[in-house]
Structure 1
């Protein structure tokens, strides 16, 4: 208590000492001070450094600044910055960096408390099914996909087949709205009979889009195991950049365009004569993990899902393509873990790690999902592979978990990607150059003439097609 009084007293003293003559503040002017002045004073009082660009603080003022100091620097900074939608991140001892308020990132305890609040609404399968029946149409409405816009009558654009060891690849562009294309690569087994499983593989927020080796390894391995695996870009990534700017990806509408893209891709793949409609899965990492959960929740054709390094009760998705549309307002608020529970009792694997917002998945979020699957007496249908020593990627151990899970759930041949000792072996997979995976040519010269350009054109088209 003595230390608290000393610090608060010191803070007030420094404020008074640092005031220029005639600048004494009082309640008449709300003790109002420039943010930069307050931050400089906090650095002096608490012996810390606060890093920021001047543009972040220019023109910002703190109301009742003199009253916002508390016994420790972090409580003080929270009290000062929260009304301005700012926060700090601690970089190391006594060093902080100013950043904008992140609506999508909650303290762990608050995220867990919110999940507990949601879980208190249902205690059995009947109540949970009622909750799902409320959430699903709301998700579609929030995405502005109820009803779905009419699908273009065009046929997909398909490149020549490329043959590799145990699998083949074709690049495909699908028109999801008039003049709007989603591009990807379809990997298939080199030899197969009858109908085979279908696996969607949306790309996440890593550099080099779906051209990255880990994307190619994953889809080629799944094809060698006996599935058709479609790897595709998120909106305003990859070849979508022929039509839109990279900054358009961070527009909220990207979330809806991506969801529509997955629905259209699934429409096409399930129209193929060799597609097994009873064995349909989806897996994606990071932002594509959030997308995996959302698509599974709104499309019952998905039978198996595996979100990787994505789902957390205290992280709602750091990109507007994950949380930009108001899906989380549904049902008097929801979160990504409850949306993941909407897959139940369909098999689901969550892959988590120790280096991101999935670090505590086994402690609270996964037990919640086990409880939900338990309502159906299918607790074994939800799994968690946690890799505490790893970080935010789709590395070999994450891929291995997905291979083993999909092999069990979809009847795939895991031995096709194993060595003699039973370890996953991806050495027979060819990593192609980026240009080989383009649909529209090395320089976009084959982009269809009807392709639209620019986000403003997309907004106009979206309004015309959906009524929103």
Structure 2
């Protein structure tokens, strides 16, 4: 071999080694996709960009990234987008340099596309009569889409209620309602002390935040509502909270979750509507995030709800990041709909939208809220729909969002704001007692009080819905 040939081959070998993927696991590919396991790509991203990416083993198991090396760019955000978008995955930035891989999220529209679609829906009606016709078309289809037409037979069982705990101006008792044979929805009822006459009710489903309804801010909100003179029922979404005694956390990410928790909301309305002390003219609902989507849907489906306050939830370009919000084909009803049109079905009932500047509600005041104002104007009650926009705040149910809800409830349900305000007129939440999580359980610290007929496991739940083919 001549020196010239040797040098030529050496150059070719160096080029081969420098080619993306050579000398790595990608050399095993025979399909020219140069793929790598997602877990290896995430580790490489963390090393290159000196960031932390939180994820669980099931999230990345058996997932591969095609053309992995070609997806890297000069910054971490673009690289993560290139890697995760083809897998229908994304990350949330928790703080600088720290990311968390989301378990599931439905596709988001571009803002302008969402607005355009809402505008196209609005061409289907032009006054109260044509809108009522549209509502009459959508509403029964929502029940059908959720496999709740007809509604399953209601179990003939009494609610399971724990002893009351008495606090400053309110009491708390935990309640489990059997919504299907062997399936319960659990919650805690915050109730005012020494109230005369009929009592309003505020259903308070809890969203996807950590610690669910056991969180301090959730307890503060419900207790404060009770101290103002209303019952607040804080309840779990499906496969969330105590529901996880019967079902796995992953089951919340199945489409049937939306059906079960909607049925749960209906059964809760049945229960409170049957109580002699309930003022059925003042039943409201307010949840945040995924529970905000649940609040919108429940209000569209059930006229017993007289007031709605979805918090950091409603958007024309994003219908919810979880199958419990969009898993069943509710957005195909009426030939196609979206969450803003569903929110319009609350009209003329009072409705509060609380939005912020860091999630899919960031543009609420620009397009979605004016649409709702127009819809309420069909009934001559444009002032019945309100938007409190907090552009500097994030996706949570923080104090300013709670204050917006308190103000709205005082205004529309005539609650006693003075009972929760200090001498300067500011809300004082300091008199609320934050309970430990296990104090809010119905079925005992370890689920030892769960009834013997309890349905265990998602596969057994599916048997209660014979037409269900979803997973």
Same fold (TM over 0.5): yes
Please state how far the C-alpha of 1:442 moved relative to its aligned partner. Answer: 1.3
The one of 358, 362, 366 aligned to 1:359: 362
Counterparts of 2:429 and 2:104 in 1: how far apart (Å)? 42
Counterparts of 2:139 and 2:130 in 1: how far apart (Å)? 15
Please state how far the C-alpha of 1:114 moved relative to its aligned partner. Answer: 1.2
The one of 369, 372, 377 aligned to 2:372: 369
The one of 429, 432, 436 aligned to 1:429: 432
Q: Does 1:382 align with 2:385?
A: yes
Please state how far the C-alpha of 1:411 moved relative to its aligned partner. Answer: 1.3
> Structure 2 matches for 1:232-251, cutoff 5 A?
232-251=235-254
Whether contact under 8 Å (1:34, 1:59) holds in the other structure is no
Counterparts of 1:137 and 1:330 in 2: how far apart (Å)? 9
Q: Does 1:292 align with 2:279?
A: no
Please state how far the C-alpha of 1:79 moved relative to its aligned partner. Answer: 10
Cα distance, 1:309–1:87 mapped onto 2, change above 3 Å:
closer
Counterparts of 1:322 and 1:147 in 2: how far apart (Å)? 21
Cα distance, 1:19–1:176 mapped onto 2, change above 3 Å:
closer
Aligned to 2:135: 132
Gaps of 5+ in 1: 1-13, 21-30, 41-47, 67-73
Aligned to 2:406: 403
Counterparts of 1:206 and 1:100 in 2: how far apart (Å)? 14
SS of the equivalent of 1:198 reads strand
Aligned to 1:231: 234
Please state how far the C-alpha of 1:467 moved relative to its aligned partner. Answer: 11
Counterparts of 1:261 and 1:210 in 2: how far apart (Å)? 16
Aligned to 1:264: 267
The one of 274, 277, 283 aligned to 2:277: 274
Counterparts of 1:435 and 1:324 in 2: how far apart (Å)? 31
Please state how far the C-alpha of 1:367 moved relative to its aligned partner. Answer: 0.6
Root-mean-square deviation over aligned CA pairs: 3.8
Please state how far the C-alpha of 1:193 moved relative to its aligned partner. Answer: 1.1
Aligned to 2:350: 347
Aligned to 2:181: 178
SS of the equivalent of 1:463 reads coil
Please state how far the C-alpha of 1:102 moved relative to its aligned partner. Answer: 5.0
Residue by residue over 1:385-412, the C-alpha shift from the partner in whole angstroms, topping out at 9 and shown as x without a partner, is 0111110111111011001101111111
Cα distance, 1:236–1:99 mapped onto 2, change above 3 Å:
closer
The one of 412, 416, 422 aligned to 1:413: 416
Aligned to 1:118: 121
Whether contact under 8 Å (2:306, 2:350) holds in the other structure is yes
* TM-score between both structures, scaled by the size of structure 1: 0.83
Please state how far the C-alpha of 1:112 moved relative to its aligned partner. Answer: 1.1
Counterparts of 1:389 and 1:229 in 2: how far apart (Å)? 28
Cα distance, 1:433–1:364 mapped onto 2, change above 3 Å:
same
SS of the equivalent of 2:286 reads strand
* TM-score between both structures, scaled by the size of structure 2: 0.82
Counterparts of 2:346 and 2:241 in 1: how far apart (Å)? 29
SS of the equivalent of 1:383 reads strand
Please state how far the C-alpha of 1:427 moved relative to its aligned partner. Answer: 1.0
Residue by residue over 1:118-144, the C-alpha shift from the partner in whole angstroms, topping out at 9 and shown as x without a partner, is 112211111111111111111111111
Question: Any runs of at least 4 consecutive aligned residues in structure 1 with deviations exceeding 3 A, and if so which?
Answer: 17-20, 31-37, 48-62, 74-92, 96-104
Counterparts of 2:90 and 2:210 in 1: how far apart (Å)? 27
SS of the equivalent of 2:186 reads strand
Gaps of 5+ in 2: 1-14, 22-30, 42-48, 71-76
